[in-house]
Structure 1
């Protein structure tokens, strides 16, 4: 006890605690830099691991696939037929493909909601309680007619029917695209499709082989699911290992298997984080399809053929699917080994959750320290009652918006899915026209909402210039001001901690993008209060406009910084930036992203919209209110007052 007391007195004498409190904003900023630095370290050799097969029962590439050149003529025959009815309506196409599958011996059915054709091949050696899915969208994520994929799926089914090795049923699904039609089929299969089912689905493969060429250069695997979900790493490693034994090149996020440098690994890591964060939100015409299986404990990947001038032919692509299905068929139980939480650096390297998780933890602690600094550096006592009343009102208003806005967009049409991307390729049926109209209506409603919140962002960001000291009505007390600001930052910290393991990439993205909110209190310390200089303060001199602008900026430098912090940390400003960066040639990326946010829950059960509007946005609104009507003149700390009196 004596040692502890001596140590405590020494700390108090040297004033270490006040000094540490004073530097809390700097510590917060350093932790934010450390969070980014942690990500930059992950691609360094020695920090990542090489992919491997954890489940020995998969035995990839151990059996010889006989789907070879002897099947090429069959694939070509089906392909010519598929090419001929490219402009038929969905019902006619379904009837033709269903007749082929019935001739092979499969049972077929059509999902009434979206007209999705599916067929079941019963396993000769199974008990019909488990199955695997081969999904073949009529349109690929690259907006190509999937004639190679459809023809290959039928030819593979014909080949599968001759084998007696299957212990799991095989389900073929032919949705219009990999977005809403496939998602609704998966949902219906587990809820309302009683006519034709084949047991629980263990795994799914989405096949894309667009274009008319019989050859491809390499294949690409996409694996991101909704709400941060990922397939078991063994499934992806199985497909890649089979491709390696077939002598094929493969890639993930544009990085091929033989590309192995630090910057390429870092690029793949960043692309993976962005893609996983935006899955289910970006333009529905570019979705890969595997995300439609999220939420049902189904391990799903999408295999895409890339290029048209390579040496590999379409039968080699078919052998990838064949051998992968045979490996899954070997399993006696569901996928449970290997990793469900990981980030890919290349097709051969990955980092597991224990390696990358500290990055988001650091950014969360950064917000927590900034919140603590707001209280300790402002010289106030927490006003819990005012915090609860203000933040409850803000959160209630945001909750109402979170429900009303998606409902308003969804009411533009009863059957909402992005059929506009298919009307020009698959024919101009009445269904295509209504789908295009639906998409346009949803986009218009989303445009109005985005523009409204953008104007609100601009208004809130510039209103600190009008925070006058003589405003007595609608004026927050000093305690309420800094208490609300501290609570908003602490709320973001808790939001990040809550999302850490559930949706790491979303938690990290919110932490990094909302970081400017942590700089408001340190900047406000320099100005005390936001003031507007009197009209005649500089009236004695006649100055040119440029000098006046320079003088204005110099005298309002801190205010401008706070306005910039508010503007750049707004979620709707981020929607504009991110949406336009990943937008289309029509420069409507922000509108498409806003539409995706508003419709993703109703269509895909993606809850990113609720995280943004109930987590990030209330904290930003609280900071905006503080800067607009708060008293930001900070009181001197007690130790500083005592020191000043002592000097006097």
Structure 2
């Protein structure tokens, strides 16, 4: 009975672990941050071999059916389009391509769109661009025309389709774009005769006079958004005096089976964007794969695996992925690769089953590929027209084939068209076997080589280790600030504490964090205001990028000063205790922002964590560090100054630009152009910079300059 009246409470293990981590937050922070960087550097070593998860794909299981006649007809199309380049504003080339499609029995239609100029728009940031909707400055001479050919599958029900896209500039097209038409035509010609086709085939010849992405995005928007009225949509009758669709249908010696309406097929299972490079500096035929889409989205890994398998093992192409070329010559990276190779060999000698480590050359090459993939995903800007398909959750990639033959080699050109056509045929045949959309393999991954990948379960470890110290340090600062609350009388004597005073003191300490939360909230509001300034600056006529950037900086500074004058009481922190609470709330806000960004775009969150986490953890008033006059405090002050300089968003941008692209061509106006592209491409990286990174940097600088 006595034991039940006065039991001795014992904390749960999870509570004791939390208290231990919070009390040793400094040591835990150092260990976690170092481990996070090491884990990031080990990703090329931890990469696994790719494999095809969906058995129904069966790549290469069937022999190619493209005949020499298909190649000869494709070569004739290449020759005819090359002879018509620049004639009649491209109308003859478009009519010729439509004639070739119609001769194969395909349903041919024209899609007319008005190019949308990328600009800031505050009301539909995450919405698709409005290309095709007539703007106020509409000009009849500035619209494009896509050509669309559709093959109805003999074994299908019209509910699914596969899309093949070939960007083609009818005015300034070169041999490369003509060859891309030839490769696509050879496949299109075959697919009109086969009996195994179960999905409709759509061949989109995109009018790339206004860029490769714009015509594809406009066609996809109209494909998925039926129009029930003609209000605001470009109509054929609106521009009778200029080039219009009637010129494509009339004045033709042969009849073309075209449709005036917008023709559709089924739900798109996959899409391939085919491009042929005009020049190739390689000694062999190469295939470059571009997979990154908006906000770091990637297609299903099975689609890339099928492409790589067929290109390498069936057609003999050399696969190329984007690389950060500056890292290939990095000495420290080579030394690190040699160390890891030595450790791997040592581990293998101890136990042959310990397969750790890769050759130093493979590590350097994998790191360069991984860095390029992270960089492209962090930008949030598509690396090709395939990005328009990912906005509709359609798996798509851009293929750029570089041939080693010269334009005078006719026989080599036939072989190139045959191999390229067989590659596209094999991919279409594999996708045609699917009974459902791609879902078996990974959507979240990083490529270190064409046959090596890092899954989300592996690369998130590095990010988790980097941000793990943030909540522990925030809790440690908050609890430490509450402990620093001695109560003294005016004469210096300690007052006699009462139960009521203790209760009031506890309540006071529990709500003390609101003052720091108000400061953080005000800076967050300021970040939101700063994010809207570019929209208004873009309305200024004849304003250069450098001038726009300077205006943006001045408006941001003046708005911050205005908030400080109006809400100055929010920034009044007279004691060290309040500074600690402000730092605690700042770290908590950074942790929440980074975690939310990791869900949207992991690469942006990873780069942000590398810059924000050290800056938030080390931020401390410089006056206190200099007053202490110790080596530790002086070192922390130097680190804070360096991190504050590097963490400033414009400085970080130019440093990353120099690292990834070199010193050549660096201009002050590049920052504005980059920010404008982020907004125009609906990249969430822009919101992260303005709503997370910039407010955290301002709060850390405020803590550094605060005089306690």
Q: TM-score, normalised by structure 1?
A: 0.75
Which residue is equivalent to 1:276? 377
- Post-superposition shift, 1:376? 5.2
Alpha-carbon offset, residue 20 of structure 1: 7.2
Alignment of 1:185 with 2:219, yes or no, is: yes
Per the alignment, in what secondary structure is the counterpart of residue 167 of structure 1? coil
Q: Which of 407, 421, 430 in structure 2 is aligned with 1:318?
A: 421
Q: What does residue range 468-483 of structure 1 map to in structure 2 within 5 Å? A: 475-478=572-575, 479-483=577-581
Separation (CA, whole Å) in 2 of partners of 1:143 and 1:389: 60
Question: CA-to-partner distance for each residue in 1:102-129, whole Å, 9 max, x for gaps?
Answer: 3333322213223241312222221111
Alignment of 1:376-455 (within 5 A): 383-406=512-535, 408-409=537-538, 411=539, 446-451=545-550
Match of residue 399 from structure 2: 303
Tell me if 1:123 matches 2:153. Answer: yes
The separation in 2 between residues aligned to 1:446 and 1:364, in whole angstroms, is 35
Residue 209 of structure 1, CA deviation: 0.5
Alpha-carbon deviation of 1:525? 8.1
143 and 527 in structure 1: CA distance in 2 versus 1, 3 angstrom threshold: farther
**For each residue in 1:171-193, what CA deviation from the matched residue of structure 2 results, as whole angstroms up to 9, or x when unmatched?**
22233133333223322321146
Residue 113 of structure 2 corresponds to: 112
SS in 2 for 1:127: coil
Q: Which runs of 5+ in 1 are unaligned?
A: 9-15, 282-286, 414-440, 464-470, 532-552, 634-648
Shift of the alpha carbon at 1:591?
4.1
Cα gap change, 1:458/1:305 in structure 2, threshold over 3 Å: closer, same or farther? farther
**Residue 508 (structure 1) aligns with:** 606
Q: Structure 1, residues 480-531: CA drift from partner, whole Å, max 9, x if none?
A: 4332222222212112222334322111111012234135435748526799
Structure 1 counterpart of 2:386: 290
What does 1:100-179 align with in structure 2 at a 5 Å threshold? 100-106=100-106, 107-114=108-115, 115-119=144-148, 120-138=150-168, 146-175=177-206, 176=208, 177-179=211-213
Alignment match, 1:235? 303
For residue 95 of structure 1, report the CA deviation from its aligned partner.
3.5
Aligned to 1:646: none
Question: Following the alignment from structure 2 to structure 1, what is the Cα–Cα distance between the partners of residues 437 and 421?
Answer: 24
1:365/1:567 Cα in 2 relative to 1: closer, same or farther (>3 Å)? same
Q: Aligned partners of 1:69, 1:589: CA distance in 2, in Å?
A: 52
1:605 aligns with 2:682: yes
Aligned to 1:250: 319
CA separation of 1:385/1:587 partners in 2, compared to 1, >3 Å: closer, same or farther?
same
> What's the CA shift for 1:96?
3.4
| 2:648 paired residue number | 570
Q: Alignment length, in residue pairs?
A: 553
Does 1:265 pair with 2:369?
no
User: Under a length normalisation based on structure 2, what TM-score does the superposition of the two structures give?
Assistant: 0.69
Correspondence list, 1:322-333, <5 A: 322-333=425-436
The answer (yes or no) to whether the contact 2:270–2:431 under 8 Å persists in 1 is: yes
Equivalent in the alignment of 1:344: 447
Cα distance in 2, alignment partners of residues 174 and 585 from structure 1: 38
1:202–1:297 CA contact under 8 A, matched in 2? no
* Shift in Å, 1:618: 1.6
Task: Pick from 453, 460, 471 the counterpart of residue 368 of structure 1.
Answer: 471
* Change over 3 Å in CA distance of 1:291–1:275 after alignment to 2: same
Change (3 A) 1:593 1:159: farther
The change in CA–CA distance for 1:474 and 1:351 in structure 2 (over 3 A counts) is closer
Aligned mates of 1:135, 1:87 — CA distance in 2:
22
1:320 offset after TM fit, Å? 1.0
Alignment of 1:540-551 (within 5 A): none
Match of 2:61 in 1: 62
Q: Distance in 1 between matches of 2:18 and 2:456?
A: 35
In structure 2, C-alpha distance between the alignment counterparts of 1:276 and 1:360, rounded to whole Å: 15
Equivalent residue for 1:73?
A: 72
Q: Secondary structure at the match of 1:333?
A: coil
Provide the rounded CA distance (Å) in 2 between the counterparts of 1:62 and 1:472.
73
Q: Secondary structure at the match of 2:44?
A: coil
